[in-house]
Structure 1
C-alpha cells in the first residue's frame, strides 16, 4: 500500500492566476491600440467587422423603426394636410416670380460669360438616411446608410435643408461615418455675412461652436450669421453654418470668446445630403507656364545688364 499514498489529482485544473491574465490582456490591448493609432494597421479588420455587423444592426433596429414610422405617420397626417394647403397658397403667391426665374438665370449666365466671370461651382450630391449615432459618448458622430458601394469617400461635406451638418470622416462598405461640426475635432472656415470678416469655428463637443481668432474689438454682434467661406477647398462658399448667440469681451485678452449655435439640425435624426467633392483648381497651361518662364529669364538678363 505504499504506492497509494500519493495525492489525488485536482478536480478542477487551474490555469494562470487571474491577475496574470488581467495583466496580459491589458498589455495586449494597449499594444493593439498603439499600433492601430500609429500605423492604422487595423483599418481593414475594422471594415471587415463592420461589413459583418451591419446587417445585424439593421435587423435589430427594424422594430423600433417600424414603431417610430407608425407613430410619425399617424401624428403627421393632419399636419401634412395643413402644410399642403399652405404650400399651395405660397405657390400661388410666388408664381409670378417663379415664371421669371428661368429667364433671369439665362440672362445672368450670358452676362457672366460677357464679363468673363468664373461660374460658381454647383452643389451636387446624394441623399442619405441617418441610422444611429456613434457609440463614443465623447464625440459627435452619426452613421448613414450609404458607403463605398454608393461612391462615398472620406472628406465629403454633408448638409441638410438648413445648413452644414458635418463631414464624412470614415467610410465602410455599406455605411459611412459623418463627424458633426459640433465635434471637438471639427473646424470649418467661415465668413460673417454682415461684415464679410473671415475666421474659423471650432466645435465644443456640447452642441455649440466657438468663433475663434476674432479681435476683442471686432465688429460682430449676437444674431450674426456665419456661412462657409470656401477657403479650405472642402465646403462650397455660402452655406449657412452657425449663428452668434453670446460674446465675451475681455480687455486682458487679444481675442474675444464668441459662442455660436449651428443653423442645421446637427443633433436631430433625419436625412442629410452628402455633397460631391469640389473640383480641383486647373493647373497652369503649358504655354502660359513657358511664357512665364521666358519672362522671368528676360527679367534676370535685364537685371544683370543693369548691374554691369
Structure 2
C-alpha cells in the first residue's frame, strides 16, 4: 500500500512539474522531502533517467540562445564574464585542494558557481563521469544558493542604489541558474531583464570550453578524448536557432519543454539525496560553494561599480 502511495505521489509531482507549476528549487526540495518519507524501489531507473534528461535538457536550452546576441554583448559584459569565470574556476581548484574535497564534486560545484548552475553541472557531469550522488550534492548546494539569491539580490540592488544596467550585469554574473537570474531581474526593470538575459546567454556558452578543458583534466589514462555528442548537439541547436532554420514557435516550444524537463530532472535528483549522504559529505562542499559565491558576487560588484 505504501509503495502504491509513494508511486502515486512521485508521478503526481512529475506531472505538476511538466505543467510548469513549480520552479527549480521547489522541485529539488520536493524531491528531497520525498526521499525523507519514502524509499524508492526503482533507484536504478531514476539514476539512468537523470543522465538522459540532463543531456536532453541542455541540448534543448541551446534553441533559446543566439550567436548574434553573444557577439553583440557589450565589451564590459564580455570582459566581466571572462574574468569572473577565470578567477572563480581558479579559486575553485585551489579551495577544492585546500579543503580536500572530492575532485569531481569540487569541480561540479565550481562549474555550477562560475558559469550557470544546473546547466553547467548537467553539461560537465557526464564529461567527468560523476556519479548520481556527486551530481545530487553539487546541484543541491548550488540550487540552494540560487534560491537564496532570487530573494536577496533585488534587495541588495536597491540598498546599493544600483541602476538597471548595473543590476542586470550583476545578476547575470553573480547568480548561477538562468531561472534565478531572470526571476531576480524581472522585478527590477525591463532594461535589467534584457541585459541580464543577454549576458547570461553569453556566459552559458562558456560551458563548451569548460567541458573540453574538463575532459583533458579528468581523462582516463590511454583513453581517447572525444567531445560528448550532447555538447556538439548543444552547439548545433544554438546555430539552428541563430539562423532561423526552425520557426520561432518551434524553438520556443523546445526551450519551454527543456526547462520543464530540467525541473523534472531536479525533482529526480532531489529524490536521490539522503540525510545520510549529506551528513557524510560534511560542511566542506557548502563552504566551497558559499566561498565561491561570495567571491564572484563581490568581484563582479566591484568591477561593475568601479
- Provide the TM-score with structure 1 as the length reference: 0.20
Higher-strand-fraction structure: 1
Which structure: larger Rg?
1
- Provide the TM-score with structure 2 as the length reference: 0.20
Higher-helix-fraction structure: 2
Q: Which has the higher contact order (CA 8 A, sep 6+)?
A: 2
